[in-house]
Chain A
């Protein structure tokens, strides 16, 4: 794939993931405000999200969008601010993405399977 095509596609992926994140962050913040008004506790959060496939789907999309969006931004920072070549840059991008996916899905699946008091 040509350099032009790669750069353009990365830009498109970053914009698409940004659009998804914009919606996710707004929903996430609204729910936090709503939850706090009713008294924030771990038990209450688990009661709301545990076993709920809608929240599982929502936060899965959230995590995937972050895993797409953030490494592309990291790539730009590394290109502009460091002299490391494309090889190490792509390794760091891939690692960063995998770490986000692993940590994100650990939390998402953990909350889905969690039960109050257990």
Chain B
């Protein structure tokens, strides 16, 4: 292990350039550690975003050597190439500054996909019983661990081609709610995710699956949505 790493970091907005830094190598060092070292010790004007540092909040995703990754859980050892690392903002999102992206579009699309709970009961009703081995609960469980980091959104070529495409995370969220027996919003949801920006635009390339740090399969969720919309269309519900 050499004593330092040559790090190229994107500086600017949509236009800008890479700036090189030499950062001391540490054992068990993460990519987020590198960015933090640069900001605290070399250039305090470097902008980036993080919060939890333990892979829960989904704030720190960046493009590392050309691939979208959660930087707090990405060890330098695994991504360094010839002693060098290139760090840039996520693809498919507007750059606010340096490594910070504007996530507005990403989260707006969660709402457009009806990724919110539609309650069906009041406080006077009894609880729904959802057993762990219930098939719909298990389908929901496969997608529920999304942390909203936008790595899948950055990895998706369809998002690049079709700016209105809702994207893997929003559609995955919709699929977890389709399988929530307590939810009453499926008619609106399936209508929202069936338009020309919805689940049928997915090419099943599985870039989202390849890069999801939580090992989820948004492609499987989207395939589930396609089947659900087909059934709804045949019944005349959408």
Contacts and interface: CB of A to CB of B under 8 A. Distances in A.
A and B together in one complex: yes
Interface string A1-13: 0111101111110
Tell me if B's interface is mostly helix, strand, loop or mixed: helix
Contacts of A4: 190-192, 194-195, 198, 229, 233, 238
Contacts of A80: 158, 161-162
Interface in A48-90: 76, 79-81
Tell me if A's interface is mostly helix, strand, loop or mixed: helix
Given A8-B230, A9-B233, A3 B196 contact: yes
Contacts of A3: 194-196
Given A80-B158, A80-B162, A8 B196 contact: no
A9 B236 CA distance: 11
Contact of B229 (A8, A79, A81): A8
A8 B194 contact: yes
A8 B158 contact: no
B88 to A, nearest CB: 24
Interface string B203-238: 000000000000000000000001001101100001
Given A76-B201, A79-B162, 4 more contacts: A2-B238, A4-B190, A5-B194, A11-B230
Interface of A: 2-5, 7-12, 76, 79-81
